Chain A
Amino acid sequence: MKKILLALSAAALLLTVVPPLLTAAGKLDAATMKHLLLAATILWFAVWPAAIRGKVS
């Protein structure tokens, strides 16, 4: 379970970086990029706290 959560967290971080890169390269429109960033934000806060539970005091 922990590995899945960590993988999802990594996916959220990738989703935070890749869409802006694609937009900068002209391969993704700004509106979609903004939606994907919001999705990445929700995913990050949904999985990362659970993934590191016990590590953060």
Chain B
Amino acid sequence: MSNEHEHEHAVNEYENEPVPDKALKGPGSFWGMYAGEHTAGTEFMIGPLFVAYGVGASDLIFGLLLGNLAAVLTWRYLTTPISMRLRVTLYHKLEKICGRQLVSLYNISNGLLFCFLAGAMVTVSATAVGVPFPDVKMPTFSDTMPTGMAWSVVVIVIGAAMTAVAMRGYAFVAKVANFAAPWMFLIFVACALVTLPKLESTELSRIWTGVPQEGKMKIGFWGVFFFAWFCNAAMHLGMSDMSVLRYAKKASCGWAPAAGMYLGHCIAWISASLLFAHQLQKFGDNASVAPGPMVYDAVGWAGLICVVIAGWTTANPTIYRAGLAFQGVLPGMSRNTATLIAGIICTVAGLFPAFAMKLLDFVGIYGMVLAPVGAFIAVDVFLSKKFGITADPAATRKMRFNPAAFLAWVVPAAIGFWAVKHFNMPLPTYATLPVWIGSGVLYLVLSKVMHPAARA
């Protein structure tokens, strides 16, 4: 999972103009940022969820290696070239293609999904803060509602603190995130090192048994592969990372996400899944999935600090970004009010463990809703001339609402949701690529009919 706090200051510069040459950055600026932002609090949930979904050892290892490779290649060969060619933010380009009103709809969807994601991070942090308080009942996989008054109080206090900090801007949190990144990664590794000898058996098939927990569908290689590839679909296929990669001096900057994928999404997920495998071997069906107690059991207070910092440094900029998205819809609203609204939604979401416990599903939905707009940009950049459609149709034709883009966004996504349900797919990430391709093709066809290029 990710946040994009480190370069937020940069994101907010050159919002309405291409990044000038003097502001471009070399690959070194990107490697550390990607490594830090993909070692987040939610990694503590994703690892255990793989175990709960009955992933086998070889499926996990090869799925993670190849799925993360596919994600890196998408960043390198799709997001980076487009970002370097345009050098503008996603919002700027989207407004030219979709029109102001449709961008507002995108902003609302984006803002709400950010709030729910931040809510999952608040839930994860609450499992750590709640450890010293025996009255706090930790959520289990089956919990979707708040587990009690003490739990609710902890979540509300954390949510209020995160919102208050987000309202003051996130420069401080961004610094803490930078400072913490190498230490945090090593705490993940320490968890794995300490847990390995505690396991009844270190045979891989006894750790990742391939047997799903009750109520969970089994996922195998393809489940892990698609999840690793598309858990950040909004960032690469959906072009949200144009905001960052538009600063890339060289195309080789596009390899930087490899640091986040292989440190955060490979090693951290495997470490976190070991923690849960140990709980399962020790307690069977009564095993706790709450990251706080699991990490405390493994490495003590340092682990609790790690869970809180990982959750906080990820949730805080996410709340801030959600506020910015809401402010984009109602520009008259102050940034503080928008952030406060986002913080309240996030805190309420955090009360419900459903978002954290069903994180694999939620992340899939997040990608499927937000990624299709990236297909419009890809079509606009690479195919508009070839197929004779108007580039930047909303800007060229002075439209506030591009119906072609709206239909190409909504119809494939709706079909994707239907297909996930109808074909009983274990995770929504199975449908992300078909939805993205479908959106691109439909946008191309509809644009050809509705907005053909003017003949010279």
What is the interface of chain A, defined by CB distance below 8 A to chain B?
12-13, 16-17, 19-21, 23-24, 26, 30, 33-35, 37-38, 40-41, 44-45, 48-49, 52, 56-57
A44 to B356, CA, bound (A): 29
7 more A-B contacts (CB under 8 A) besides A13-B183, A16-B302?
A12-B183, A21-B193, A23-B197, A24-B194, A41-B301, A44-B183, A49-B175
Are A45 and B179 in touch, CB under 8 angstroms? yes
Are A49 and B182 in touch, CB under 8 angstroms? no
A19 to B302, CA, bound (A): 13
A33 to B198, CA, bound (A): 15
Q: Does B148 contact A (CB under 8 A)?
A: no
Can you pick out 11 interface pairs between chain A and chain B where the beta carbons lie within 8 Å of each other?
A13-B183, A16-B183, A16-B190, A16-B302, A17-B186, A30-B194, A33-B194, A37-B299, A37-B300, A38-B300, A45-B180
Are A13 and B182 in touch, CB under 8 angstroms? yes
Are A26 and B197 in touch, CB under 8 angstroms? yes
Are A41 and B183 in touch, CB under 8 angstroms? yes
Q: Which residue of A lies closest to B9 (CB)?
A: A57
A25 to B73, CA, bound (A): 38
Near A by CB (< 8 A), chain B positions 255-286 give none
Q: How many B residues, CB 8 Å from partner?
A: 22
Kindly supply a per-residue 1/0 record for chain B positions 132-166, scoring 1 wherever the CB is within 8 Å of any chain A CB and 0 otherwise.
Answer: 00000000000000000000000000000000000
Dominant secondary structure at the B interface: helix
Kindly supply a per-residue 1/0 record for chain B positions 232-261, scoring 1 wherever the CB is within 8 Å of any chain A CB and 0 otherwise.
Answer: 000000000000000000000000000000
Q: Does B189 contact A (CB under 8 A)?
A: yes
Distance (whole angstroms) from the CB of B301 to the closest CB of chain A: 5
A40 to B178, CA, bound (A): 17
Are B196 and A24 in touch, CB under 8 angstroms? yes
Are A20 and B190 in touch, CB under 8 angstroms? yes
Distance (whole angstroms) from the CB of A13 to the closest CB of chain B: 6
Are B190 and A17 in touch, CB under 8 angstroms? yes
Determine the chain A residues whose CB is within 8 A of the CB of B299 once the complex forms: 20, 33-34, 37
Q: Does B305 contact A (CB under 8 A)?
A: yes
Q: Does B187 contact A (CB under 8 A)?
A: yes
Distance (whole angstroms) from the CB of B51 to the closest CB of chain A: 20
Near A by CB (< 8 A), chain B positions 7-34 give 9
* Among A16, A23, A40, A49: residue with most chain B CB under 10 A: A16
A49 to B176, CA, bound (A): 8
Distance (whole angstroms) from the CB of A35 to the closest CB of chain B: 8
Determine the chain A residues whose CB is within 8 A of the CB of B189 once the complex forms: 17, 20
Are B300 and A16 in touch, CB under 8 angstroms? no
A45 to B178, CA, bound (A): 11
